Amino acid sequence: MRLSHHFGTTLRQAPAGTEAISHQLLLRAGYIRQLGQGLFSALPLAKRALTKIENIIREEMDAIGGQEMLMPVVHPAEVWQATGRWYSIGAEMARFKDRKDRDLVLAMTHEEVVADLCKTEIRSYRQLPQLVYHIQTKFRDDPRPRAGLIRVREFTMKDSYSLDADEAGLDQQYRAHYQAYFNIFNRCGVPAIAVGSDVGMMGGSAAHEFMYLTPVGEDTLVLCRHCGYAANRQIARFAKPAAAPEPLQPLQKVATPNCKTIEDLANFLGVPKRKTAKAVFMLAGHEEESGTREEFVFVVIRGDMEVNETKLANALHADWLRPATDDEIRAVGAVPGYGSPVGLKNVTIVVDDAVPASPNLVGGANEEGYHWLNTNTPRDYVPSLVAEIAAAGDGDACVQCGQPLYTARGVEVGNIFKLGTRYSAAIGATYLAADGTEKPIVMGSYGIGSGRLLACVAEEHHDDKGLVMPITVAPYQVHLIALAGADARVADAAEGMYRALRDAGIEVLYDDRAESPGVKFADADLMGMPIRLTVSAKSLRASGVEMKRRDRAEGVIVPASDLIARVRAEIGTLFDEIAAKVVPVPFR
């Protein structure tokens, strides 16, 4: 491709409001352009890179038995209603009606569609296992798109679906995806880790997220350097410090003026925060076919801990949570800042599992300016539910080895889910088992967003001059620059090299523009192709062309007669460097 005819221009500066380095560089290098909030066009450079990423994904999916197909992006509402997700998913699902007033959905994912296909295509256990996948446009009406391609509303995703007769088959396909995903990320030059995660709207029994660690990430991860424990903070567990055993003491009301926070209360009474009971008031929403049902929830957790809302929502089987207002708190008989479950009726009380094991906690008295000493459950109040709902954080003890945990930020580049029969049973996707009985197909779901992965490549591979693209995903392998000016000899030599490289099957971007050397070098560094070739009067006097790797400071003069062989060798070296990182990964 001649740069003089290339569609897309470079920018000297990033537009205002672009904070993530990947967003800045992909814009400046002419890879992407924004159409609207969370909506991007992939210009030719990005499209070539995305195609390479998607072909790597295809190769790894095919290697574990995947069959590529293509499913519609528009779905009839009925399949989503059958599984209940039509009702449980909120405004992020794009719903609309056709001209005949039928409800339709823009696809967020395709579990329902795959299950519906299985009703006609799978009849017997002899047809299992199966693995199908497609690479398709998705839409989620995210209220807060940010960071360029990292968080968008329209995106391209590879989603694959395993179909098995039993959980043992699902386990095998799940682990195959686990390794395949590491292969994909390593081949794309993105270091990733796998963490346990919440199943969220997908449902099922287990899930892993694959995370690229970066400060621009929105997910908080809880990690252990000692044993390798890794989990999204949404589900991370930790070893809670045990409370010292002591006899239960009688309830005693004490005045605690102006003590509406745990910090104020602990300081006023001279007790550690672990000896207090924190009250948290929430409204839990349950989306049902008949409409939304709200449930007032009184949460009790030890004062030295914080509530993890994902764990709480899962414990309540709630679709969403929101903080209760002061008026809603008073309506159930509690007092904001001094709330207590003691004496309350007709309220859902959820207690963290550390509270029953912590005797004589200081808790609110439902009276302005007063607290109870020595609250104990179940003596003084009976919880509706006891669950592990505390948030893990820096310095907490690892649940596996007891060593201190630490937190880091990450971008989710892929996820895998054990769905079980959640969708097949709802849709009616069954198979005839060997014993003659009808059983629901056991499913798994596995996703990777190619655009987000490209953004993470840019986050990982850049310097102060621009992108430094890995050979596996770079739009072109070689960036050829002609510093010809008025020198016809240089122009002719560069033209000949361009044709020779193309004829040899080498991907080359040829800067034949009438621009200054400074502009050409700056654009080459910004675009980030792995190998730069510079033809100039100086290089021709040395009977060759300067070859320089983008990730190295110095170049070398290569004889024109050896050009194709030397470029091929360098490309091979770059691929070998990537291949060396594709190794077996233990399943955690």
Q: pLDDT (tens digit, 9 = 90+) per residue, 256-273?
A: 999 999 999 999 999 999
**How many structural domains is the chain composed of?**
3
Quick one: pLDDT at residue 37?
95
CB 390 within 8 A of CB 308: yes
Coil, strand or helix at 554: coil
Which pLDDT band, with edges at 50, 70 and 90, does 202 fall under?
confident
Return the H-helix or E-strand segment holding 427.
helix 422-427
Residue 553 burial by CB count (10 A; 0-12/13-18/19+): exposed, middle or buried?
exposed
At 114-132, the pLDDT tens digits run: 999 999 999 999 999 999 9
Same domain, 195 and 315: no
Percent of the chain scored above 90 by pLDDT? Answer: 93
Quick one: pLDDT at residue 417?
96
- Write down which residue in 387, 417, 432 finishes a domain: 387
Same domain, 533 and 416: no
Identify the CATH number of the domain in which residue 567 sits: 3.40.50.800
What Cα–Cα distance (Å) separates residue 236 from each residue in 221, 241, 277, 318, 392? 8, 16, 22, 19, 6
CB 220 within 8 A of CB 409: yes
Coil, strand or helix at 573: helix
Q: Which runs of consecutive H residues, i.e. helices, occur in 283-343?
A: 309-316, 326-331
Mean pLDDT of 104-118: 97
Cβ atoms within 10 Å, residue 126: 10
Same domain, 220 and 259: no
Identify the CATH number of the domain in which residue 135 sits: 3.30.930.10
Same domain, 76 and 146: yes
The angle formed by the CA atoms of residues 68, 71 and 76, to the nearest 5 degrees, is: 160
Quick one: pLDDT at residue 205?
84
CB 554 within 8 A of CB 492: no
CB 342 within 8 A of CB 370: no
The residues pairing with 508 across neighbouring beta strands, listed in sequence order, are: 478
Residue 141 burial by CB count (10 A; 0-12/13-18/19+): exposed, middle or buried?
middle
CA–CA separation, 488 and 510 (whole Å): 16
Mean pLDDT of 438-467: 98
CA–CA separation, 92 and 451 (whole Å): 19
Same domain, 361 and 502: no
Residue 221 domain-assigned (yes or no):
yes
At 335-360, the pLDDT tens digits run: 999 999 999 988 999 999 999 999 99
Q: Which two tokens stand for residue 388?
A: 């592990």
Task: Give the residue among 140, 40, 126 at the shortest CA–CA distance from 454.
Answer: 40
Quick one: pLDDT at residue 51?
98
Quick one: pLDDT at residue 289?
81
CA–CA separation, 44 and 531 (whole Å): 19
At 555-574, the pLDDT tens digits run: 999 999 999 999 999 999 99
* Tokens 């679906």 found at: 161
pLDDT at 203 over 80: no
Same domain, 120 and 29: yes
pLDDT at 375 over 90: yes
Q: CA-based Rg of the chain, rounded to a whole angstrom?
A: 29
Which pLDDT band, with edges at 50, 70 and 90, does 290 fall under?
confident
Task: Give the residue among 138, 166, 164, 167 at the shortest CA–CA distance from 152.
Answer: 138
Residue 30 domain-assigned (yes or no):
yes
At 130-184, the pLDDT tens digits run: 999 999 999 999 999 999 999 999 999 999 999 999 999 999 999 999 999 999 9
Same domain, 220 and 315: no
End-to-end CA distance of the chain: give it in Å, rounded: 45
Three-state secondary structure string covering 404-422: ECEEEEEEEEEEEEEEECH
Same domain, 282 and 227: no
For the CA atoms of 551, 553, 559, 564, what is the dihedral angle to 10 degrees? 10
Mean pLDDT of 275-302: 93
Same domain, 232 and 289: no
Which pLDDT band, with edges at 50, 70 and 90, does 322 fall under?
very high
At 61-84, the pLDDT tens digits run: 999 999 999 999 999 999 999 999
Residue 3 domain-assigned (yes or no):
no
Residue 2 domain-assigned (yes or no):
no
Residue 584 domain-assigned (yes or no):
no
Identify the CATH number of the domain in which residue 377 sits: 3.90.960.10
Quick one: pLDDT at residue 588?
86
Residue 64 domain-assigned (yes or no):
yes
Q: What is the mean pLDDT of the chain?
A: 96
Mean pLDDT of 531-550: 95
Same domain, 29 and 148: yes
CA–CA separation, 39 and 156 (whole Å): 12
Q: Which two tokens stand for residue 286?
A: 């349950």
Q: How many CA within 13 A on the CB side of residue 141?
A: 10
pLDDT at 422 over 80: yes
* Tokens 């505390």 found at: 390
Same domain, 499 and 452: no
CA–CA separation, 92 and 153 (whole Å): 9
For the CA atoms of 435, 440, 444, 447, what is the dihedral angle to 10 degrees? 140
Residue 394 domain-assigned (yes or no):
no
Quick one: pLDDT at residue 309?
95
CA–CA separation, 112 and 443 (whole Å): 11
Same domain, 272 and 212: no
Quick one: pLDDT at residue 325?
96
Provide the sign of the torsion angle of the four alpha carbons 29, 35, 37, 38, taken in this order. Answer: negative
CB 316 within 8 A of CB 284: yes
Domain that holds residue 311: 252-387
Mean pLDDT of 219-228: 95
Residue 89 domain-assigned (yes or no):
yes
